[in-house]
Amino acid sequence: METTQGQGSGDGYKYEVVKGNIVSAVESGALLPGDRIPSLRDMSKKSQVSITTVMKAYLELEREGRLESRPQSGFYVRPNCRGIAAPRISSPELKPTRLDSFHFQFNVLNAMADSSIVPLGAATPATELLPLTELTRLSRQAANGHENAYGYEEITGNRKLRAQIAYHMLEAGISAHMDDIIVTNGATEALYIALSILAGPGDTVAVESPCYFGYLHILETLGIDVLEIPTHPESGIEIDALQKALDAYEIKACILQPNFNNPFGCLTPDDKKNEIADLLASRNVSLIEDDIVGDLPFSGVRPHAITSFSNKVDSVFISSFSKMLAPGFRIGWIYSRNRHEELLKRKMAVSINTNRPAQLTLAAYLSAGRYSKHLKNYAAQCRKQVGLVSAAVAKYFPENTRLSRPEGGFLLWAVLPEGIDTDILYTKALAEGIGIAPGSIFTSQNRYRNCVRLSCAHPYSNKIDRALKRLGELAQESR
Ligand SMILES: Cc1ncc(COP(=O)(O)O)c(C=O)c1O
């Protein structure tokens, strides 16, 4: 980062210069969200000002929400700190809803799968970010080296893979026995199985609001009503609101994604995770914890799962390799300390077992010991891409747009000014070959019509930049 030499006379002027340099470095993309900024000593030397002056500038930038200090480590650029405001806490109606929105979601999902459109809609990683050459090699090896590679797998899943999954779950703070893990057809089947044993038609399940549209689709299919809980865009579900909902309604389960939820990308802090675990345990409400992108932290620190915080909460933990390695393998898993038999019975009814060649390949990949390195590089890429898309939104989208500040994963949630209808924006953008996910599919209520989820899962390019610019123009035109 280039710094302007402090030439002014007073201290006040000098600290403004230090501040200004950092702000412009962030705004130009030279410093990305999550980047460590020069230490007080280095900055003081570079800018030829005292350490006290630099400290004053850093503290003010921290107060303004542009920097964050990390104990014993220094100051870092805050995720999405380009002066664009964060979304407000959501405020859905605290009342169960019966769902009937599948049709529109189906169209949007189909458009997301179309590889010819600019991929700002689908939460699907770019192939160049995944270790596909290695997976292809291991897949061939697995097929040749196994006497029945294309046969049925054990119902619970491949042993070697389950052992690797159990080992990997230690990163999320969960000490799971491999025999309590069931391999599933993606997180989707895991969610379906979990929901179908925890609730039935006419029951109510609580979710964050907005939430991943797949939850709504599964709930609708099972005839389960959904209760959307107000959610903080930077710390997840609001505990007071959850408590109120639990007081008012009989809720069978709560689906949460505390580690980089879809669509906000926020991280629920540990103390809040603890409180949630205690609250659900005290009310005998089951937790379905979706940890599908917990392995993609921007800070480098893999957050723990709520499931690891308490043995008392009746938790069903779900994840998959769809966002980390290979969406097309359709390999996910489900883990529960005390519901294994029920889950297994349901899994047998739904699909008996899961794709063996894919499991053999993943078991070989995970055993080779390169997964952690892949995740580290991949998370760094996602952090960078989220930073660049955030900068483009700040530049191109209408004034007063708000934007989430994800701490992991690759999703952004933009709240456009009132009056812009993102269902219409979605249709117009699609006609120009640009994919987005309109806010309306993330709720069971008539909400988020001025919101849009943007996926940053692809390396930033001129094509993506042009698409974001065009989206900004289309949004302006529709005001
Ligand atoms: C939060 C969340 N959970 C679950 C899923 C489904 O994952 P899978 O492709 O493994 O079925 C997705 C996919 O986008 C997701 O975003």
For every residue of 16-30, which 3-state class applies, written as one string?
HHHHHHHHHHHHHCC
Choose between 450 and 70: higher pLDDT.
450
DSSP state letters, 406-460: -SBSSEEEEEPPTT--HHHHHHHHHHTTEE-EEGGGG-SSS--TTEEEEE--S--
pLDDT of residue 65: 82
Residue 73's pLDDT band, with cuts at 50, 70 and 90, is confident
Atom of ligand 1 nearest to the CA of 123: 14
Residue 13's pLDDT band, with cuts at 50, 70 and 90, is confident
pLDDT of residue 321: 98
Choose between 351 and 82: higher pLDDT.
351
Helix axes 11-28, 40-47, angle to 10 degrees: 110
Q: Is residue 387 in contact with ligand 1, taking CB distance under 6 Å?
A: no
pLDDT of residue 461: 95
Atom of ligand 1 nearest to the CA of 320: 10
pLDDT of residue 148: 94
Protein residue closest via CA to atom 13 of ligand 1: 123
User: How many A from CA of 122 to the centre of ligand 1?
Assistant: 11
Q: What is the mean pLDDT of the chain?
A: 92
Whether omega for the bond prior to residue 263 falls within 30 degrees of 0, making it cis, is yes
286-339 pLDDT, tens digit each: 999 999 999 999 989 999 999 999 889 999 999 999 999 999 999 999 999 999
57-66 pLDDT, tens digit each: 999 998 888 8
**Residues 148, 280 contacting (CB under 8 angstroms):** no
Q: Is residue 262 in contact with ligand 1, taking CB distance under 6 Å?
A: yes
| pTM of the shown model | 0.88
Cα separation, 479 vs 472, whole angstroms: 11
Strand partners, 233: none
Q: What percent of the chain clears pLDDT 70, i.e. is strictly above it? A: 95
Q: Is residue 327 in contact with ligand 1, taking CB distance under 6 Å?
A: yes
pLDDT at 12 over 80: no
pLDDT of residue 56: 92
106-153 pLDDT, tens digit each: 777 777 778 889 999 989 999 999 999 999 999 999 999 889 999 999
Protein residue closest via CA to atom 4 of ligand 1: 187
User: How many A from CA of 38 to the centre of ligand 1?
Assistant: 38
Q: What is the DSSP letter of 333?
A: E
pLDDT at 9 over 60: no
